[in-house]
Chains A and B, each alone.
Chain A
Amino acid sequence: MSTETAAPAVSAAKASTQDAIKENLREYGLIIALIAIMLFFQFTTSGVLFRPVNLTNLILQNSYIIVMALGMLLVIVAGHIDLSVGSVAGFIGAVAAVLMVDYHINPLLAGLLCIGVGAIIGGCQGYFVAYMKIPSFIVTLAGMLIFKGLALWMLAGRSVGPFSTEFQMLSAGFIPDFIGPWTLVAPTLNAAGGPTPGTGIVLHATTIVIGLIIVAAMLYFALKSRRERESHGYDAEPYGFFVAKNLVMAGIVMFFMYMLASYRGLPNVLIVMGILIALFVFVTKRMTFGRRIYAMGGNVKAAALSGIHTERLTFYIFMIMGALAALAGLIFAARLNMATPKAGAGMELDVIAAVFIGGASAMGGIGQVTGAVIGAFIMGVMNNGMSIMGINIDWQQVIKGMVLLGAVAFDLYNKKKA
């Protein structure tokens, strides 16, 4: 029998500030939650959290989680899951160590080889998921066991390191200051005539300049897209709201750039991350490839009947995930400066949690790259803050678990209310 629901009341009111906030409630809510959590730990750690050195560490500590969260977002939006990423990252770390330390292969070449191997691993798993129609949960659970085992075998139980300094630069390096340091407040000199650490304000000038360029670009593109909407006669958000929003965003970016600049500047790995995040935002928001992933996750039958090659798409997604897991494995190995058999263990859980905290739906079809990145930072800040507070690892896990559950429950509650 037919059931017909009446169309909801239609109103073509002009977009108001309220509407603009409501439309992006999820994204703004996440940013506000992250800031609130940071302020909370700033208070409970008596100011340690926002110290430049700690903020820099925060980025270094979470870089590999964020890199994997980008791929995991695609996987989850497509309606799948990848449990193998931690093991794959650990395995690739082992491969990198064997190539570079045992066989002295050039770090760049070895790195590219590793990422290629990761893509092949992802592709293999993708083949089983996409074409053999085996649930991704099972395929990647198998992958998790396989690559954990292979990493152990490859390293034969030992830890391999250290890496060459060039390779370590991936995780431990900072961009050079081309412009030269700006001394705002001269540091007090110690007895030997050198500067005393922790005194004075010396800024990494290149970092500040890059920050300004980013902010300028952000504002330029925001204005451009606003103009475009207006010139086509479509409602844009109210001008006051638009200005306030962009100023706040610019302020936040400049604040972090300033913090980083007053330590050692931009970490190399942040540049890698930044480029990847920008790329994934672009792919998911503006490219047909991304759009098709959302369509497939929302309704795979309708997508297939609309001419989308759903199998091929799934295959590519897992391949991308594999390559990113490999990159994360390299970053992690470079950070530890050795490959250990235990590397990567449990990482997949942090990655998946980050994506879900970031608002992705376990049913597929819903999720944002920015959400996943902020989700990863929320997890990272909690790890960092709780460690500084001296909370034991056991209770850290309990609290993180409750935050994950709470975030998703809050999300569903909001959706039901709407």
Chain B
Amino acid sequence: MSDIILEMRGITKTFPGVKALENVNLKVRRGDIHAICGENGAGKSTLMKVLSGVYPIGTYDGDIHYEGKECRFTGIHDSEKLGIVIIHQELALVPMLSIGENMFLGNEQANAGVIDWNRVRRRSAELLRKVGLREDPDTLITNIGTGKQQLVEIAKALAKDVKLLILDEPTASLSEKDSQSLLDLLLEFKAQGMTSIMISHKLNEIKRIADQITVIRDGQSIETMDKADITEDRIVTTMVGRTLENRYPHRTPKVGETIFEVKNWSVYHPLHPERQIIKNVNLHVKKGEVVGIAGLMGAGRTELAMSVFGKTYGTNITGEVYLHGKKADTSTVGKAVKAGLAYATEDRKVYGLNLIDHIKHNVTIANLPGVSNSGVIDDMGELKVANEYRKKTNIRSSSVYQITGNLSGGNQQKVVLSKWLFSNPDVLVLDEPTRGIDVGAKYEIYTIINKLADEGKGILVISSEMPELLGICDRIYVLNEGRIVGEMKASDASQEKIMRAIVRGEVMEEKLERAAS
């Protein structure tokens, strides 16, 4: 059982300006469940996209050997022909088609283009039995829950005659019960001789089912461990153990009184109102303080921020917001801005900028009254403001008339910051302020954050990069599954401590769920 089914050697993949993978090696034994873990953005998903042919041969360096043969995939079809099937984190199902139709999407059971519906029904029923899903193949995907959808994805993979199944964070959006049955299913497949690769950062799951673990950090494969050697401690230290250089500008915090408080905040999912996304969160930010919110993807960080900022996420929102000790109404974006709150969104291209317009118009849009008189915009005043903020945040462009869609990520982020600075808030919530921008631009963003804190503003930073939080924050909250599971001073905190709080939170969550059911 110890022969190697898959070997990836020296995989290097660069995106413009960023090295996503550098000399990654991966060996997977036949019949194993092989876990790949690492922090958000470490390069796990990129590696799997290379393996499955999403990034075709020639766009990366290094080679892939599968069943002893070198593979040169030009697309996902080539890898699927060999039985390598990937199930992405965002499920690739068409909501308004039936289970059966989805299962054979692109692999239709047809004769000369005419679909044989009897065969579709017979085969899909058969596969659904295999994954233990009791649903009619004619049921629409939109009518079944996420857990069942995940099973449909797996059945879809089985329909393609899968030999190597790759699952990218399969349990990220599943409830505890659904996760357990999914893991059981994987063990069952293993007993039947199938090989799986599972990307996950849920350490308890990995411990339970994995035979081997490969840890990836900063685009490099660090270590592969066997089941016998796996301990949570060891995984955590390997995952986060990077040397910290001086990547963060120094600041001496001058922390004043509390200016921002969220009390007993609860939020439910907008489409599945029975799912509670934010669970009774309490937090506060003081004047001149930079506070971080740490947590894994899906912990509810963005949802928390957006639900506070004008109720732009979620339903059935309860709780109170206080600014300067007074209860504030933040139920619409306009009211939240007026109350002195600003929220720079996570995805600046989708939620932050009007990419077809220039810098000047983007900077003033959240505070047009600030450059106008009874609805008439003062052209020169606006130009002055735009130039002032361009200088203040050091936006590199030919002029304020450059279209924001043509700016680099770092400069786009500075435009977003400028927009919110011009709305003159007391509290700024920055969601992933440095995602996807290079190291130099990151340093500049940190400098701006420091300056704002020194001016007496309260700053709340949401970030998936723990070193960043440790580097720039004074205090850190740890959020897991919608609950605050830890609060620590940055001076006492470490990546291990944060990770441990998350893991502890998961254990606690499990207990709570068990108690509830």
Contacts and interface: CB of A to CB of B under 8 A. Distances in A.
Interface of A: 1-8, 10-12, 225, 228-229, 232, 234, 286-289, 291-292, 294-295, 298-299, 301-309, 361, 365-366
Contacts of B396: 7, 10
A310 B85 CA distance: 43
A3 B17 contact: yes
A417 to B, nearest CB: 14
A287 B371 CA distance: 10
A309 B310 CA distance: 12
26 contacts: A2-B20, A3-B17, A3-B409, A4-B408, A4-B409, A4-B410, A4-B437, A5-B17, A6-B16, A7-B407, A10-B396, A12-B399, A232-B380, A232-B383, A292-B365, A298-B355, A298-B357, A299-B350, A301-B351, A303-B354, A306-B333, A307-B332, A307-B336, A307-B423, A365-B354, A365-B356
Contacts, number: 136
A309 B332 CA distance: 9
Interface in B269-289: none
Contacts of A301: 350-351
Query: Among the interface residues A7, A225, A286, A287, which one has the most CB atoms of the partner chain B within 10 A?
Result: A7
Given A3-B16, A307-B333, A289 B361 contact: no
Given A306-B366, A366-B356, A4 B17 contact: yes
Nearest to B15: A3
Contacts of A366: 356
Contacts of B310: 305, 307
Interface stretch (B39-47, B171-179, B469-477, B500-508): B39-47
A1 B43 contact: yes
Nearest to A231: B380
Nearest to B396: A7
Contacts of A292: 365, 368
Given A291-B368, A307-B366, A365-B354, A3 B333 contact: no
B398 A11 contact: yes
Given A5-B16, A6-B17, A289-B375, A303 B365 contact: yes
Nearest to A300: B354
Interface string B319-335: 00000000000001110
Contacts of A11: 398
B406 interface: yes
Interface residues of B, number: 57
Contacts of A291: 361, 365, 368, 377
B408 A5 contact: yes
B59 interface: no
Contacts of A302: 345, 350-354
Contacts of B365: 291-292, 295, 303, 306, 308
Interface string B343-365: 10100001111111100010001
A38 to B, nearest CB: 32
A15 B366 CA distance: 30
B376 A287 contact: yes
Contact of A3 (B406, B419, B436): B436
A6 B377 contact: no
A12 B377 CA distance: 26
B481 to A, nearest CB: 25
Contacts of B384: 232
Contacts of B491: none
A298 B358 CA distance: 11
A13 B467 CA distance: 41
A4 B436 contact: yes
Query: Among the interface residues A4, A11, A234, A292, which one has the most CB atoms of the partner chain B within 10 A?
Result: A4
A286 B368 CA distance: 11
B18 A305 contact: no
A1 B20 contact: yes
B337 interface: yes
B356 A304 contact: no
A229 to B, nearest CB: 8
Given A7-B397, A10-B396, A1 B366 contact: no
Given A228-B380, A305-B312, A294 B357 contact: yes
A288 B377 contact: yes
Nearest to A13: B398
B438 interface: yes
A292 to B, nearest CB: 7
4 A-B pairs with least C-beta separation? A2-B436, A4-B17, A298-B354, A306-B366
A182 to B, nearest CB: 39
B377 A287 contact: yes
A11 B18 CA distance: 25
B181 interface: no
Contact of A6 (B334, B343, B408): B408
Contacts of B408: 4-7
Nearest to A282: B376
B492 interface: no
B357 A295 contact: yes
Contacts of B353: 299, 302
A295 B409 contact: no
A373 to B, nearest CB: 22
B372 interface: yes
A307 B352 contact: no
A102 to B, nearest CB: 41
Interface in B25-60: 41, 43, 45-46
B241 interface: no
A304 B333 CA distance: 8
B55 to A, nearest CB: 10
A407 to B, nearest CB: 19
B41 A2 contact: yes
B435 interface: yes
Contacts of A8: 398, 402, 406
A6 B406 CA distance: 9
A5 B409 contact: yes
A303 B352 CA distance: 8
A133 to B, nearest CB: 14
B195 interface: no
A3 B43 CA distance: 13
Given A1-B45, A4-B436, A365 B16 contact: no
A3 B409 CA distance: 8
A294 B369 CA distance: 16
A298 B423 CA distance: 20
B245 interface: no
A357 to B, nearest CB: 20
Nearest to B49: A1
A288 B369 contact: yes
A386 B443 CA distance: 64
